[in-house]
A and B are shown apart, each in its own frame.
Chain A
Amino acid sequence: MVMEDAEAPHHMLLLRNFMSQGLVHNQPLLYASPAIDPRGFLGTLPSPAASKDEKSHKHDPDQEKGLRIAWQYKKYFGESQLNFDGQRDGKHEYSNEFDLRKPLERHFLSAQRVDCVSIQDSPNLSALQDRSATFLSQYPRNDGSISCAGRIAIQSFSAPQCAYSNMEWDMLSFIRSLKSMVRSSNAVALITFPPSLLSPSFCKRWQHMADTLLSVKAIPDEDKELSQLLTGYQDMVGFLNVHKVARINTQVPVILDATTFSIKLQKRRFLVLECLNQAPVDGSSGTSYGTSGSCSGSSKTGNLDF
């Protein structure tokens, strides 16, 4: 689940990458949004970026089985495992790089692969629940090989224009039932919601419901304090915080080096997440900070490319 910031649309960047990735890898998608015509959003999905290096790496099926909230884990495995070898016969390599300037090819958006639901007018959540149930029933989890996987993307779940948005218990029970359906099927779900519009106790409950919890935050423009505090402030558009990482069927926790990342758009095309680098502090002793290269600029090892 992704907690939105009412002041910035960064959750849309995450949604776009999530949806494109699924479509490119033949994973059917169910997309729900409060817009009257959700199909319109599909036109803004990015196309995979041309792969930079030709590293091939044996794709480990066991590893993928454990990755329920698949795309999330890819981030934390380090660069060497980011490039999986797909077959070179027309299938795409599994990658996290998407080019926002290039829209996804039309054939990926055919009706068999993408199902869209508008949640604005439905008075309650039963319609959405039924749609999700039918969608997920197509991807039962079998012991054995990975058959097709499905993805569900729900945007701005508690948006105020939805008729059910003040029925907080109903929304909570929907999330719970969706979670149980997803667990018992071969699918992942991404839900974004604006926490500022929920009452605080429900906000907490929703956060507990999530397996993996992220939040995006806007940053003020032309803020002198921040620009002195952080390097690369000029390119940043927001912050991403990782609050929780899914621990399913494991007792080993994922310990992250950093939980706050800056969201940058490289050349306005690629979504890049970077660890924050603190700028050298003014007034500290002499020249050593200012000239050392490792402190400033984007670090290569910490790059988490989407």
Chain B
Amino acid sequence: MAESICRALRDGALEGEHAPALTIKDSIASPFGFHVFCHVLSQLSSFILAGKSQSGGLVVVSFSRSPSFYLELLKNKGIDVVSSDKRIQILDCYSDPLGWKDRLIEAGNFTALSHEASNSSTANVLKDVKHMDKLYNSIVERGKGLIGGGKNRFSVAIDSVDEMSRHASTSSVAGLLSNLRSHDQVSSIFWLLHSDLHEARVAAVLEYLSSMVTSLEPLHQPANGHRGDLENLSLIEHNLKKGKFHVRIKRRNGRVRVMSEEVHIEQSGISFTSLSSEGAINQGLVPKVQFSLELSEKERIDRANVVLPFEHQGNGKPIQIYDGRRSLADSKHERQVAATEKVQTNEDSGGGEIIYFRDSDDEMPESPKASI
């Protein structure tokens, strides 16, 4: 499932369509959103550098991490940003988002620190994030700088929409994202959101604007009451390493594809496996009745041991299939044989037998039972 998302971002937009947009949503119960974001980022970067994707460049708008973090991250994945043909640009909204340092320097109270010059060619500092249209222009400018003009396209990764929402109203953030999506030269776009930090409406708005929504949930819900319980602690610990990864993809034909996976956080990164079949998903589909519809283990063994009366047993006896045309005498004989056979099997297997109550035997107005 994570691969299908990365593939969708890689394939980009069709002519005349809005660019596919991915929202990665997490919460405090399962805080792996950033890991997923980094995973998608490195996947998309490697696609771009290998030339396999529709987009020719990537603009990373970093709000919550410094650009050097991303350079390190990509280097660890084997992608050397600086030398990679300038395919990846990082718009630095982390160091000085509101332009305070400049103002402090002007006010004379601040001497510029010499090591603050992170003037690598890949990082461009944006000092005015409050105005979404300025941010939009910067992103588009960087993107165009990466790919040139014409039919080329670029992708956009936004570190965290939370920071954007802090500085600007929801409608201007929504305007920025939808304008990016409908820009001719944007191939795909994805962003991270921590849903606890906002009202429900903000998450709803971002889901409305995106074509794919992934959300992270804890595998086990700890019981609410006794927080200090040892059991709960281990569950919580468990939740810090694993989680459920749900994906909702809005397909072009108007249907919604829903998928789920398990996600594990390891030292080396993040891995996705299919959900261990705890039956959690299937429980919704099995009708709720008062008797058990499943067989217990003993019942299953017994069923496997039942010898069907007319089946070929492989013991030299001829197959006797009742076809309804035998005379009474024959059938009586048969029944004796069958009965002895049955007794034998009873002794042998000691488990399964077929118990059959005929309808006509039943005097009482109960429904017939046939249990295996």
Contact = CB atoms under 8 A, between A and B. Distances in A.
Nearest to A121: B175
Interface in B162-203: 169-172, 174-175, 177-179, 182, 201
A160 interface: yes
Nearest to A237: B254
Contact of B209 (A8, A10, A160, A166): A160
Interface residues of B, number: 26
Contacts of B319: none
B179 A36 contact: yes
A35 interface: yes
A7 B254 CA distance: 8
B137 to A, nearest CB: 14
A105 interface: no
Interface in B252-287: 253-258, 285
Given A219-B255, A220-B258, A6 B208 contact: yes
A196 B208 contact: yes
Contacts of B169: 166
Interface in B93-138: none
Given A6-B204, A120-B175, A166-B171, A36 B257 contact: no
A47 B207 CA distance: 33
Contacts of B144: none
Contacts of B174: 159-161, 165
Given A8-B254, A221-B251, A238-B254, A194 B170 contact: no
A11 B238 CA distance: 43
Contact of B255 (A36, A199, A220): A220
B248 to A, nearest CB: 7
A146 interface: no
A27 B201 CA distance: 38
B189 to A, nearest CB: 14
Given A36-B179, A36-B182, A220-B258, A237 B253 contact: yes
A304 B366 CA distance: 48
B205 A197 contact: yes
Interface residues of A, number: 31
B126 to A, nearest CB: 21
B342 interface: no
A130 interface: no
A32 interface: no
Contacts of A219: 255-256
A218 interface: yes
Contacts of B171: 160-163, 165-166
A225 interface: yes
Interface in B191-248: 201, 204-205, 207-209, 248
A222 interface: yes
B86 interface: no
Contacts of B7: none
B89 to A, nearest CB: 25
Given A6-B204, A6-B208, 14 more contacts: A8-B255, A9-B254, A159-B178, A161-B178, A163-B175, A166-B170, A166-B171, A196-B208, A197-B201, A218-B255, A218-B256, A221-B255, A222-B257, A265-B253
Nearest to B169: A166
Contact of A220 (B170, B178, B257, B285): B257
A10 B208 CA distance: 14
Nearest to B211: A7
A10 B174 CA distance: 21
A199 B199 CA distance: 11
A37 to B, nearest CB: 9
B303 interface: no
B254 A160 contact: no
Contacts of A218: 250, 254-256
B263 to A, nearest CB: 22
16 contacts: A6-B204, A6-B207, A8-B254, A10-B254, A120-B175, A160-B174, A160-B178, A160-B208, A161-B175, A161-B178, A197-B201, A197-B205, A197-B208, A218-B254, A220-B255, A225-B285
| B172, B178, B257, B258: most-surrounded residue (chain A CB, <10 A) | B178
| A159, A219, A224: most-surrounded residue (chain B CB, <10 A) | A159
A220 B171 CA distance: 29
Contacts of B251: 221
Nearest to B174: A160
A14 B309 CA distance: 63
Interface in B263-322: 285
B20 to A, nearest CB: 14
Nearest to A228: B285
Contact of A35 (B182, B201, B254): B182
A125 to B, nearest CB: 14
Q: Which 7 A-B pairs have the closest CB atoms?
A: A160-B174, A161-B175, A237-B254, A221-B255, A160-B205, A221-B257, A161-B174
Nearest to A12: B254
A225 B204 CA distance: 27
A220 B209 contact: no
Nearest to A162: B171
